[in-house]
Structure 1
Amino acid sequence: MAAFGRTFPFYAGPKPTFPMDTTLAVIIIIFLTALVTFIIILPGIRGKMRLFWLLRVVTSLFIGAVILAVNFSSEWSVGQVSTNTSYKAFSSAWISADIGLQVGLGGVNITITGTPVQQLNETINYNEEFTWRLGKNYAEEYAKALEKGLPDPVLYLAEKFTPRSPCGLHRQFRLAGHYASATLWVAFLCWLLANVMFSMPVLVYGGHMLLATGIFQLLALLFFSVGTSLTPPCPLRLGTAVLHTRHGPAFWITLITGLLCVLLGLAMVVAHRMQPHRVKAFFNQSVEEDYLLEWSPVEGGLSPRYRSMAESPEPQDIPLSEAVSSKPSCKEEHPREPDCAL
């Protein structure tokens, strides 16, 4: 520090910030692009099927976007507090700031914004991320933050999630995040299979996969809730206030989407059993693909065999003249039998 002419730890230059997480921005842009593409081709669909088709596409894209977005979101557990706290190490200067903590499935995000932003001849506006995803080392990221000389509130909160912290938050949130993330990836695969099956004449299996999508989302919530409540809460004291955390927007939107998938899956299964023709019409599939029951002898008994109406033989009209001419003549076949019955 002395080589740069500074006495206290300092943050080397302002850090460029993006209004939102770049990963979430990419996911939103991809799904919005897909939605706009479908809307462009919407006028080519006629009649009521246009509304049904739009409803299906919007619902499906919403579910897929939510599953991917919450997997990379840092707002599963959030907390914010306004307090007066120390700013730098080895300094008695205090600042007034809003401090926020966002815990996701792959790490924590810590923000500090001065009130006002300009204090102590500096711009107090920090947004730092510390991750524990696969391939990342949380301890190394925390060591680099110490070398940078980040503000005391940021280092204090980041230290609570280090592997050696007596709070045990690192193991608690890391395991819960890994299991919840893996379960959400399974839910995303089920969502893909559901879309594939809805485009084929196996709609009931698409309903089953949509039901599985919702169940796996609810399991992810269960893993996160149970995993983060195994240890007693660790008090986070920042100056004159205590920071408390609660479930964030990502948790609640996953709950809503999971319940929506479960309800839609159950409705799909029940509707396919009670009104299969209307379900096929809703998914723009031909009703002629329905199945007819045909009985055929097998091993001395009768067993059902299903075939589509397209395969059913069509009735053929036989001309009357051909029918009369095809009837065997009594004179030709039995010339010597005078008592032949007509």
Structure 2
Amino acid sequence: MPVAQRDLHDLPSAFKGQECNWEKWAREGSCRSTKGPGGMGSMESLGTLVGQYPGLTRFLFLQRWFWLVRVLLSLFIGAEIVAVCFSTEWSVGRVSTNTSYKAFSAARVRAHVGLQVGLAGVNVTLTGNPVQQLNETIDYNEQFIWRIGENYAGAYTEALQKGLPDPVLYLAEKFTPSSPCGVYRQYRLAGHYASATLWVAFCFWLLSNVLLSMPAPHYGGLALLITGAFVLFSVFAFASISSVSLCQLRLGSSELTTHYGAAFWITLATGILCLLLGVAVLSLHYARTSALRTFLDGSVKGLESQAKGSSSLILNNPLHKQFWGSDLTISTNL
């Protein structure tokens, strides 16, 4: 198929009288006009360039969307990894029941009782239905920590001394080291290893951002794969508690059962997302190296190699020599 070529020697006239160059136009999308003799305003020159080089404008549009998606995905992954480390929504349970309220009292209250198990401990909530009962405001949210350096048994003893309601003490007692349930050690170890692997994943997430910004897509993709692997390791570490049978939790006439919470499923989805992104980056690295580097680099410098590999548009800008020292030509398949 014949190819018609023409040199764009008249391109400097589009920028005459303006403080502009290719790099500034690609970054800002316009130039500041000085309106010198024979010069052209910024809107006029931008319209000229858009009309003459649709391939360039399409490339810049895709590049900016790629950058936006990349930043949003990266922020989501990093924020999620940090957030779930402090979340108590890994294993949750909730029940509405009519239960005793205080020790050595026959008074009963209607309340919602919640149990949230996290990586660092247990959170127990008790909310009256209605909140005002027995001339008291029944609204408790108590946390018992088993993180390394914390004394879970001591926190439970303090709760006894404070005289917290029976449902709170009952659920907290099930996770004490001396409880007949025997789940303290398993839950504590599962939370400890899950938290450790999540922080390792966070470090590799930071490393992947640095490598992809250099850009070094091969090693950045590998760092993303390792990030996803460690995130999934944390999920598997916490899921190991499923082999431990939790004691029956009866509150009044109702039974409280637990299941995996939002933090568990979001972490699982994030691990899979990191693996998919890592595979995508590595695949593009081996299949379309120049295109991937051009998008990651965030400049128009790599457009020549991109155009040669996938487009019939090749730009030749005489002003381009001033900035990158390479000539570009435009060819159109007729």
Matched, 1:277 2:306: no
Instruction: Tell me which residue corresponds to 1:264.
Output: 277
Q: Where do 4+ consecutive residues of structure 1 move more than 4 Å?
A: 43-46
For structure 1, the 5+ residue unaligned runs are 1-42, 291-312, 316-342
Is the Cα contact below 8 Å between 2:294 and 2:303 reproduced in 1? no
Is the Cα contact below 8 Å between 1:211 and 1:261 reproduced in 2? yes
Is the Cα contact below 8 Å between 2:122 and 2:144 reproduced in 1? yes
Residues 134 and 152 (structure 1), Cα distance of their counterparts in 2 relative to 1, 3 Å cut: same
Q: Give the Cα separation in 1 of the matches to 2:163 and 2:263.
A: 31
Matched, 1:243 2:249: no
Instruction: Tell me which residue corresponds to 2:205.
Output: 191
Q: Give the Cα separation in 1 of the matches to 2:104 and 2:219.
A: 65
Question: Alpha-carbon deviations, 1:142-198, whole Å to 9, x = none?
Answer: 011001100000000000000000111211110000000000011000100000101
Q: Give the Cα separation in 2 of the matches to 1:90 and 1:314.
A: 88
Query: Which has more radius of gyration?
Result: 1
Matched, 1:61 2:75: yes
Q: Give the Cα separation in 1 of the matches to 2:157 and 2:27.
A: 58
Instruction: Tell me which residue corresponds to 1:216.
Output: 230
Question: Alpha-carbon deviations, 1:46-78, whole Å to 9, x = none?
Answer: 532322221111110000000000011011000
Say which SS state the counterpart of residue 229 (structure 1) adopts. Answer: helix
Q: Give the Cα separation in 2 of the matches to 1:232 and 1:274.
A: 49
Q: How far 1:232 moved relative to its partner?
A: 2.0
Instruction: Tell me which residue corresponds to 1:82.
Output: 96
Is the Cα contact below 8 Å between 2:204 and 2:226 reproduced in 1? yes
Q: How many residues align?
A: 250
Instruction: Tell me which residue corresponds to 1:252.
Output: 265
User: Identity rate of aligned residues, in percent?
Assistant: 60
Amino acid at match of 2:203: L
Indicate which of 152, 157, 181 corresponds to 1:138.
152
Cα-Cα RMSD: 2.0
Is the Cα contact below 8 Å between 2:175 and 2:184 reproduced in 1? yes
Residues 1-342 of structure 1: pairs in structure 2 closer than 5 A = 46=29, 47-48=60-61, 49-226=63-240, 228-283=241-296, 284=298, 286-287=301-302
Question: Alpha-carbon deviations, 1:181-217, whole Å to 9, x = none?
Answer: 0000110001000001011131110011011111111
Q: Give the Cα separation in 1 of the matches to 2:28 and 2:191.
A: 43
Is the Cα contact below 8 Å between 1:67 and 1:184 reproduced in 2? yes
Residues 166 and 194 (structure 1), Cα distance of their counterparts in 2 relative to 1, 3 Å cut: same
Is the Cα contact below 8 Å between 1:168 and 1:231 reproduced in 2? no
- TM norm structure 1: 0.70
For structure 2, the 5+ residue unaligned runs are 1-25, 30-59, 306-324, 328-334
Q: Give the Cα separation in 2 of the matches to 1:153 and 1:44.
A: 61
Is the Cα contact below 8 Å between 1:161 and 1:169 reproduced in 2? yes
Q: Give the Cα separation in 1 of the matches to 2:105 and 2:326.
A: 93
Say which SS state the counterpart of residue 124 (structure 1) adopts. Answer: strand
Say which SS state the counterpart of residue 234 (structure 1) adopts. Answer: coil
